[in-house]
Structure 1
Amino acid sequence: MKQTYNTPGPISVFVELGSGQLTTVAADTTEASVEVRGPRAEEFHVEFNGKRIDVIAPHGRFFGRGDSHDVRVHVPTGSELVTKMGSADTTTTGTLGLLALKTGSGDIEVDRAEGPVVIESGSGDIKGQQFGAEVRIKSGSGDIDVREVFGKTGISTGSGDVVLGTVHAATVIKTGSGDLQVNRSEGDVSLTTASGDLTIGAAPRGKVTAKNVSGDVRVGIPTGTPVWTDINTVTGNVKNNLTSVGKPAKDQDYVELRASTVSGDVLLKQV
């Protein structure tokens, strides 16, 4: 089953799917299309009101195992996507606007989003290339990997590793168990886990807070950056390889670092 609509500008899309795969492609186009493949494709509710496309699976089997369906949506660049998924996977290609993705147990892979991003996942891995605005992610279990975020970031997960590439604004990450890593932080960053390593590859400025119970803490500071430190470990060691540069000059970037761990080492290194 396939439907095509005239869409001269960005639109909104809502998809409700139990099991299977949702693929959303954003491109410079004046048409939007929805294609559903699977044993009950003809029973899907697909409707366009001029501003929003609704794609809703048959409700009789939404919360059961049901039949697996492949849903493919093509939309103009900058369109919004809202989903309610059971165990279906979600993949996007191109640049979308706002994203509000909710899944019970499916993987999520996002290319680019220029609007706010909200993701709620019971279990499943989450991947993203570039998010241009505020990001909020809440996951029960699963790994999270996002390459670049320009807005404020808040991530909370029960268990799973979190890796962020470059973050340009304030970032807060919390997990019950798992390693947390930020390759480069351009703003304030706070990492908290009960069990796992905490790593910040490079922190050229801002407030850096790293807290765990068991696991190591590693922070990289660019050469020449003044650092104020408050470091505590109960049974671990502190290794400071930084070269002292004294107090920051007027208007010079500096780092306020607070790190605490019970049974892990703390390593500060020049980068």
Structure 2
Amino acid sequence: MRTETFETPGPIQLGVEIRSGSVFVTAAEVTQTTVEIEGKHADEVVVEQEEGAVWVETPKARGLGSDREWAIDLRISTPAHGDVTVQSGSAPVAVKGSVQTARVKTGSGDVQLDEVAAEALVDTGSGQIVVGRCAGDTRLRTGSGGVEAAGLRGEAMIATGSGHASVGELTGNLGYKAGSGHLRVGRMHGDLKARTGSGRLDIGRICGGEIDVRTGSGDVTVHVPLGTPVWTDIVSGRPVESSLPSAGEPAPGQDFVKLNARTGSGVVRLRADEMSRTEQIV
């Protein structure tokens, strides 16, 4: 194993470009950046430090052998709150700890991010995307893999070809596009615009905001706290199912929900969520 160490007392810009293998980055409270390299061509990997930056890349010249032959496993430790950029042909990528920005593009590898403060951009051809929390703008795209995010704020966009997506908590605005994937949001306060060919939409709880959904054949289920005013504009080939009592017009400053739904053969359901029932009892 080859090891390179650089003094980096503060957050840096870390750039990685490899053909295949794996990339594991740990962002922690350290004052050095350490790059550990394993693989047949570990000694030929270029590792350079510039002011405020560390770059790691494999040679780009043609005729250097197959991607498998050039598979490189990277383990990198770097100061927290920096910027991480990774580009790879097929490597899985994991970034542990807190970073300012994360930009990852890989042909077929899975991508995992822990905590991103400002911007997260992930593009993978067929890999799974797992994100902890992102407080800024988020763009997540995968061709056939799924997307899982614990918490999203700011402006977010999720796009999948056939994979499903789930968001634990949404505070902000989310755009969602999928060919046939389902979307599940546990709890949200913000706006959602969803477009899917045959996927379902399930909102565990919306406290306030607007949902605009179009689906060819998927069901739409939305849970709303009791007492929250709901305005609806729904077009469906089947009757709407609702267990919500009328809440009337919203009071000044009161949160309300607007649902604009279009589905060809799916069922639109409006439900009072269980948490709100418990709150009413208490």
With normalisation by structure 2, the TM-score equals: 0.92
| C-alpha spacing 1:63/1:163, structure 2 compared with 1 (3 Å) | farther
- Superposition deviation, residue 159 in structure 1: 1.9
Q: Kindly indicate whether residue 36 of structure 2 is the aligned counterpart of residue 30 of structure 1.
A: no
- Superposition deviation, residue 185 in structure 1: 1.4
- Superposition deviation, residue 44 in structure 1: 0.1
1:233-259 CA-partner distances (Å, limit 9, x unpaired): 11x332101111111011111011111
1:172-192 CA-partner distances (Å, limit 9, x unpaired): 111111111111111111121
- Superposition deviation, residue 139 in structure 1: 2.1
Aligned to 1:138: 141
Aligned to 1:231: 234
| C-alpha spacing 1:206/1:134, structure 2 compared with 1 (3 Å) | same
Q: Which amino acid aligns with 2:192?
A: V
Aligned to 1:12: 13
RMSD: 1.3
CA contact (8 A) 1:215 1:261 kept: yes
Describe the SS at the equivalent of 2:139.
Answer: strand
Describe the SS at the equivalent of 1:110.
Answer: strand
CA contact (8 A) 2:129 2:140 kept: no
Q: Which amino acid aligns with 1:129?
A: G
Match among 199, 204, 209 for residue 202 of structure 2? 199
Distance in structure 2 (CA, Å) of the matches to 1:239 and 1:62: 60
Identical residues among aligned pairs (%):
36
Distance in structure 1 (CA, Å) of the matches to 2:139 and 2:21: 25
Q: Kindly indicate whether residue 243 of structure 2 is the aligned counterpart of residue 216 of structure 1.
A: no
Describe the SS at the equivalent of 1:119.
Answer: strand
CA contact (8 A) 1:165 1:183 kept: yes
Contiguous gaps of at least 5 residues in structure 1: none
Q: Kindly indicate whether residue 68 of structure 2 is the aligned counterpart of residue 76 of structure 1.
A: no
1:89-120 CA-partner distances (Å, limit 9, x unpaired): 00111101111111111000111111211111
Aligned to 2:265: 263
Distance in structure 1 (CA, Å) of the matches to 2:95 and 2:185: 24
- Superposition deviation, residue 171 in structure 1: 0.8
CA contact (8 A) 2:40 2:69 kept: no
Q: Which amino acid aligns with 1:188?
A: D
Describe the SS at the equivalent of 1:195.
Answer: coil
| C-alpha spacing 1:150/1:194, structure 2 compared with 1 (3 Å) | same
Contiguous gaps of at least 5 residues in structure 2: 274-282
Once the two structures are superposed, the pairs formed by residues 33-44 of structure 1 within 5 Å of their partners are 33-44=34-45
Aligned to 2:280: none
- Superposition deviation, residue 62 in structure 1: 8.4
Describe the SS at the equivalent of 1:42.
Answer: helix
CA contact (8 A) 2:153 2:173 kept: no
1:66-102 CA-partner distances (Å, limit 9, x unpaired): 3322101111110110011111000111101111111
Match among 138, 156, 159 for residue 156 of structure 1? 159
- Superposition deviation, residue 157 in structure 1: 2.0
Q: Which amino acid aligns with 2:167?
A: L
With normalisation by structure 1, the TM-score equals: 0.96
Q: Which amino acid aligns with 1:257?
A: L
